[in-house]
Amino acid sequence: MGDHVRGILKIAYKLLVNDRGKFTALLMGITFAVFLMIQVTSMFAGMMMKASATVANTGARVWVMDRAVNNVAGSIPLPDYVLDAVRSMPGVRYAVPFFSGGALARLRDGTYQAVTVIGLDDTSLYGRPLLVQGRIEDIYAENGFIVVADEELPKLGNPGIGAEFEINDHRGVIVGLAKVSASGLFGIPTLYTTLSRAIQYIPSMRYTMSYVLVEPTSAAAMPRIKEAVGALGYVALTEREFIDRITVFYKYRTGMGMNILIMTIISFIVGLSISGQTFYTFTLENLDRFGALKAIGAKRRELVSMILFQAGVTAAAGYGLGIGLCASLIALAKLRMPDYASVITFANLGIALGMVLVIAAVSSYIAVRKVLKIEPFEIFRS
């Protein structure tokens, strides 16, 4: 960068920060817009992570299910022959049954609490969580259950090993505490037990198996497995595909996605209107200075560079402040509310960055048009 260009940008920077009131207003407009955009999109990302918690925590590479299933909580029971058919398919290393259902647990104090019960294959316990207390073998003990020790645990009275409860007049005993990568969406505690016990304790329809979890021999075998399962009348999805299907369901089949979209658009409009108006007012107040620069020989591209630099500096500072403010608020919220569903992802940051660039481009375009139309003699004549 030459000294001449560096000098032009230095002048632009001094013009920008000289009026602290206008500069602060510009920063606040973009910061507030970024804060709102990151906040609402991170809430959606956090809710989608919780909605897919069972899939992520299980770790199965392929899920076999009914074609009508669109989220993990809305499973449709599969007949037993599906498991046998999948196990006999080429490319399948092994396949196990999996149960996921809801129930009401009666606690020792007489209160009731909704719980999610995960039934693991009795033989392999495939998909079992990582235990922090107890032994996994104790899940085979009489009435044995493992409880997930997450932010929902207090809803069960913070039970320890040996704590008792009831499900449908059946006695349950906590034999272990586990941790998982993500907790559920609706604030419901999760219990793990064997498949046979889950089916025995929870009333179900004629068929009792929610999903078939498949481990393929290799990644190349997945297309053949999907084709064979499709011919059987069902669908096989990889972990990522199942999570994407759940996200699409909540995004387009519920009001959640539309509400998030509307809030994001409103945030964008607020930032654009505040920043565009303030930047235009800032340009008008410095019009004589731009005219003077034009009179002493500043080229059109140099004036454009000054305005783009000012818009870029403001956008970058506002973007950083908005992210920092949002991250701080999320961290504070999670300290007070551990089950607060919000997580900042690279996608959220990319969406906010794109919208900030649009705000900066529109604001600078308005200012550039005004500056390029000015004639130096009008400045000196006034």
* Residue 90, Ramachandran bin (φ over 0: left; ψ between -120 and 50: alpha; else beta): beta
Would you say 193 and 165 are in contact if contact means Cβ atoms under 8 Å apart? no
Which tens digits make up the pLDDT trace of 142-198? 899 999 998 888 899 889 999 999 998 899 999 999 998 888 777 789 999 999 999
The amino acid sitting at 90 is P
Q: Which pLDDT does position 144 carry in this prediction?
A: 94
Neighbour count for residue 231 (Cβ, 10 Å): 10
C-alpha pair distances (Å), 381 with each of 35, 165, 291, 298, 370: 45, 88, 11, 19, 18
Q: Which pLDDT does position 264 carry in this prediction?
A: 80
Handedness of CA 249, 250, 255, 257 (dihedral sign): negative
Which tens digits make up the pLDDT trace of 96-149? 999 998 899 999 888 999 999 999 999 999 999 999 999 999 999 989 999 999
Q: Which pLDDT does position 277 carry in this prediction?
A: 75
SS3 119: strand
- Whether residue 95 has pLDDT greater than 60: yes
pTM: 0.79
Residue ranges covered by each domain of the chain = 3-51+255-381, 79-233
